[in-house]
Structure 1
């Protein structure tokens, strides 16, 4: 199995690197204008939403030192620490990794994106009537809305995300830097949530093996500066609660099932694309119903969580925002904008290259290793979760509603795909982690990524 995993991992890595190279090289070589950005005067760098910019800053030294220390100690820490202490260390190291990369741009690296006029904070600061916001939300999505259209990110998402920032404003954390720090603190919980899910589903060894790749992910470049990180964390903790509900059974697990439904229901109110996380939820329920707990210990969670999630959606509908009415309006606005100029012939596969850069090219090797391990019962948890991630990504890509910018839009899918790295042969681990760390450092120091 080790030799077959090695071959499959090598094929996956090479395919991923070829995909990335092609996505970067094809547009300039063939003269394609793929419209990664609205304003292209400063240049572009497809498939990422940004342009070349060499830089260094106060976070550079810390990021490099952390990368070097991780190459030396990450595996031993992940394998030897008691579980609860490992979660604390994973959170702390992840937070430092996020902050150090963001601070390569100085404090602007944390505050700049959220302070953009196209983001949520400007609108959140102006909200003094949440009911009014919900009632007028759908009417202001179109470009030709009589009362004026919402900024890009408000129009492109349900109101759950802007309400999160309204809450930050109300509690005194509505400044650009303060809000950026809150997002970063939440983003750092992503790895512990995924690790806990894998352990609860019965694979602590694989959760530990995945820890360095989850914590020191290249996605940190985008997690620390994007509201999508909050969505990713909400999804991860919702899925984690589903796993905890399965383990607890109907008698002890129902509170976890309710919380899972509330989180996943609110997730649907954060992004029109994240009902796709339902694929991952079904995978977790299947795993929870097919292991030692017995079948009755898994599927009972589905109706409880579904009712809880539906309750969130109906509360928003009662307040004036009906998801099912808003989505068709959003589709029209999406195709009235820059998306219509972005060629599907490029972005259908260019999106996958952007994903590979954001999650790190080692995920291709991880997919190969998961394929090689597909018949190994001990690796079933990771294989199923990676498969669910691939299905979510394939569906999102096929929808054509994510042409470009997926380095942040698909952040909720990336940690589950990264789990495949836990199945890599031992000789891959340190070089693989080095590749991931180098990817993060190069992207942060050589590109202005816009997120």
Structure 2
């Protein structure tokens, strides 16, 4: 770059922002392209296991007219969400955003057919297939969960017992079948747009939270909200962090109790959610709640661990047993660490979209609360990635973290329809070209 151009960049921060954004989005595109090219080479060489379209656990396909309804809805969302985010009262904007996220999620899923919402949960590897073992005696099932782990379905033995117990409890209320299970997952997962926005409002201000909402609704990660149980984890984690922010900002002991109860369940939903605690920790550091709030939060966070330990499930034993079954099973443990430690980041790029990639440099160039939230999510993802436990399938596993990275898109000045259209366009392209198992 010429000396004169460097001088102009030095004196015009906005120009530097655009330059860094262009560099980031170029790197985003190259990383994703490289991951798919390298994945195809590995697959053809017989070095990539299971996956037809690495780094995604998916297969290539082509949808045509089936994607048209979702495409029309995406166009309406790109046009309408920015003015709604600016003008609606906050208490109205939140449920409207939730509804928009649900409709967009369901419309995308239905392009795969009328049974697309519950079909993933009908697979013999999923949680519902393992409910028979719980129905006879839930207390006995929990007490012997670790020692009988090898006999359960893939997703049951790959997680702590709470996700299975949640679906069992849903059945006990009379809402039986995978249709109701998928409804719970979609409703909880899409509600995360509200939880994340509430957190952003308390930590970084309402204008930023309003700018973020359209991007949260249209983020490509929406494709994996219907219907992977990880979307349920996303919702629980988002509301745990949101209640932490409310408690810290307003001194609410009720919110602190709710936050603690939800935070305590996270390690019992998925072992991979432990790094997600970086987000409520960032909120606590930024907002500095009082001692009473912290005391209530910590005491309530101990409820779930005490309940499960009393019931006979010892969390460290569960981790060890799950790791053992992971190592001896065929599948993800055999995938290349060297490939996926990089390719996972490319999949993260798909989850958050080009608008987020463009905005990230601007987020970290400023010492603002937004950088804390995005940075905490990225720190958690880095820990999971380097650990080598998540070798592939991160398009669903990383959803509880990736949604927080999308907050970076709030850096775009509204209405930012160009970037919103890019997000929706990428989402539609993935749905049309990729057949996911979830």
TM-score range normalised by the length of the shorter chain? over 0.9
Partner of 2:14: 2
For 1:70 and 1:309, how far apart are their aligned partners in 2?
Answer: 38
Give the SS at the match of 2:389.
coil
Range that drifts further, 337-346 or 278-287: 337-346
Partner of 2:157: 155
For 2:333 and 2:256, how far apart are their aligned partners in 1?
Answer: 40
Deviations 1:46-72 (A, max 9, x none): 1110010112576x3331112111222
State how many pairs are aligned: 423
Deviations 1:118-163 (A, max 9, x none): 1111212442211111111101224xxxxxx211100110011001
The equivalences for 1:127-142 within 5 A come to 127-128=134-135, 129-142=137-150
Structure 1 residue aligned with 2:75, among 60, 68, 81?
68
Check if 1:55 corresponds to 2:71.
no
The equivalences for 1:347-386 within 5 A come to 347-372=340-365, 374-375=366-367, 380-386=368-374
Range that drifts further, 386-395 or 351-360: 351-360
Partner of 1:324: 316
CA contact (8 A) 1:57 1:106 kept: no
For 2:354 and 2:380, how far apart are their aligned partners in 1?
Answer: 18
For 2:341 and 2:372, how far apart are their aligned partners in 1?
Answer: 24
Partner of 2:427: 440
Unpaired segments ≥5 residues, structure 2:
1-12
Residues 310/36 of structure 1: CA separation in 2 closer, same or farther (3 Å cut): farther
Check if 1:304 corresponds to 2:317.
no
For 2:188 and 2:48, how far apart are their aligned partners in 1?
Answer: 31
Residues 34/69 of structure 1: CA separation in 2 closer, same or farther (3 Å cut): farther
CA contact (8 A) 1:285 1:299 kept: no
RMSD over aligned Cα, in angstroms?
1.8
TM-score computed with the length of structure 2 as normaliser:
0.92
For 1:350 and 1:387, how far apart are their aligned partners in 2?
Answer: 20
Unpaired segments ≥5 residues, structure 1:
143-148, 290-296
CA contact (8 A) 1:77 1:86 kept: yes
Deviations 1:166-210 (A, max 9, x none): 012112323122221221122220101111111122411110111
Deviations 1:308-357 (A, max 9, x none): 11221111011011111111111111122223310111000111111211
TM-score computed with the length of structure 1 as normaliser:
0.90
Residues 384/326 of structure 1: CA separation in 2 closer, same or farther (3 Å cut): same
Partner of 2:400: 412
The alpha-carbon deviation at position 300 of structure 1 amounts to 5.1
For 1:407 and 1:328, how far apart are their aligned partners in 2?
Answer: 25
For 2:208 and 2:224, how far apart are their aligned partners in 1?
Answer: 25
Give the SS at the match of 2:124.
coil
Partner of 1:217: 219
Give the SS at the match of 2:437.
coil
Structure 1 residue aligned with 2:118, among 88, 101, 111?
111
Partner of 1:294: none
Range that drifts further, 195-204 or 410-419: 195-204
For 2:270 and 2:223, how far apart are their aligned partners in 1?
Answer: 21
The equivalences for 1:74-223 within 5 A come to 74-128=81-135, 129-142=137-150, 149-223=151-225
For 1:136 and 1:230, how far apart are their aligned partners in 2?
Answer: 25
Range that drifts further, 232-241 or 307-316: 307-316
For 1:116 and 1:127, how far apart are their aligned partners in 2?
Answer: 18
CA contact (8 A) 1:10 1:368 kept: no
The alpha-carbon deviation at position 361 of structure 1 amounts to 3.3
Q: Which has the higher helix share?
A: 2
The alpha-carbon deviation at position 306 of structure 1 amounts to 2.3
Check if 1:389 corresponds to 2:377.
yes
Give the SS at the match of 2:317.
helix
CA contact (8 A) 2:211 2:414 kept: no
